[in-house]
Amino acid sequence: MAVDPKIKILIADDSGTMRIMFKQMLNKAGFENLVLAVDGSDGVKKIQEQKPDLIISDWNMPRMDGLEFLQWVRKTPPYQEIPFIMATAQADKGQQIVIKEAGGNGHVPKPFDSNQIKDAINKVFAPATSAGPATRTRNIVDGKVGINVAHIQITDHLALGALKHRIETGNVVPKHFYINIQKKPGWNPIQEGLENGELDCAFVLAPIAMDLFAYDSPIQMILLAHKNGSTFVRSRHYDPRFDSLQSFYKYKVVDIPHKMSIHHMLAHQFLKELGLKPGVPGKKAINVRFEVVPPIKMPGIMKENEDVAGFMVAEPIATKAIALDIGNLEFFSSTRWDKHPCCIVAMQQEFIQSYPDAVQEFVSLLIDTGKYVEQDKPRAAQIAVNFLDPDGSLGLSTVVLEKVFSQPLAIKMDDLYPVHEDFENIQRYMHDVMEIGKLIDLEKFINTTFADRADVQY
């Protein structure tokens, strides 16, 4: 049964940018009867005045945050039965559990799109139509097993696109596998696909995979997707004649692509070194606000909103934004941490155990393909345009991508071997300093068996 598009939806978010984005996304999803609140306290007032049919709330807000708002709703008649969806940057699994235990009906991690928010609403009002994935049947064709692999449209995942190109052109002919590549609109569908087993493998942010592993998702990292490759872009409104970096970023917004990301970690380090207190609104005092927004929207948001002082994102979004004079280079991620990991190749343990020959060949070919990318940058740029922007919706060009690949501190794919110490540094900073995520047993999460054998076989 379809959800009535006339239902009244209360949106609570203290970010003006996010309220605009909520309105745009919900309108696109077919919902126009919206009531906007600036935080939980305002949400309480609007509930009493407007009596909504559904509440969608951010978590991190001043005065009354989203969790306190949810708790108030669940204990206050006659509003206790109003469905409540938390749409928030609190994307780690531990926070999802807190939301569920507090009586939340759904959780949509930022960044999300109109389809994801619509799906969350459908699950609340029409759960029978939102069944989980069917039992999978493994496809074997001519002795080759299919590997379902997901990625998003960033250069971090070009090794997968280049491998696809090499297979399609006959440059390599796998003996043990064929690939089914799925282009996803964001990190959340990839996270869900790894968690529910829909995906055999995914190119994904390392902290997302580590967080899933911490909550018993049976996945392992088998390889890096790349090293380096992200850029911090500062707003063009910065004027060194009047601003120090500290004064410019103070009381401003910095956009990141996901809470569980190296981008978040490196931006946090940078701002702390300026003597600032970066974070999300809540109980702790902050003076720089992180907001999670879709990477593709970051340049446009910063161009239109002077409160946004910068963003940190994967390429080619940053280079394109600089070329369009939307912002200026603050730093390449590699200047703060040379040869750092970011996205990884995560795979289901069941697939690893069932098809070790296919996994070995896949890993070996990805390693070889990373070197293939590095050997010919113009060729890599053309492959990237075809793979990342096949319909031209991103407006990518070989000129921009050649510039991305030619930068001396740019993304690197010729060494995809995971280093345990790097991931210990990641989880320790995020857990001990930023207070997010759980510590995991890296010996169990990182599986270098296939990377160790790759140089012997290929």
Across the range 170-188, mean pLDDT stands at 94
pLDDT tens per residue, range 112-138? 888 889 989 998 987 654 444 445 678
Residue spans in the chain of domains classed CATH 3.40.50.2300: 9-129
Percent of the chain clearing pLDDT 70 (strictly above): 97
C-alpha 119: how far from chain center: 18
Residue range 220-277, pLDDT digits in tens: 999 999 999 999 999 999 999 888 999 999 999 999 999 999 999 999 999 999 999 9
Q: Where in the chain do CATH 3.40.190.10 domains reside?
A: 140-228+340-457, 230-336
* Paired tokens of 314: 């994967």
Average pLDDT of span 55-83 = 93
H/E segment holding residue 317:
helix 317-323
Q: What CATH code would you report for 140-228+340-457?
A: 3.40.190.10
Q: Give the start-end residues of each E strand in 66-105.
A: 84-88
Q: Quote the CATH superfamily of domain 9-129.
A: Response regulator (3.40.50.2300)
User: How far out from the chain centre does Cα 128 lie?
Assistant: 28
Q: What residue ranges in 373-454 does DSSP mark as E strands? A: none
3-state secondary structure of 206: helix
Structure tokens at 317: 């979004």
CA torsion angle for 379, 312, 91, 147 (degrees, to 10)? 10
The residue behind tokens 């994904």 is: 204
**DSSP string of 347-387, one letter each residue:** EEHHHHHH-HHHHHHHHHHHHHHHHHHHH-HHHHHHHHHHH
Q: Write down the CATH number for the domain with range 230-336.
A: 3.40.190.10
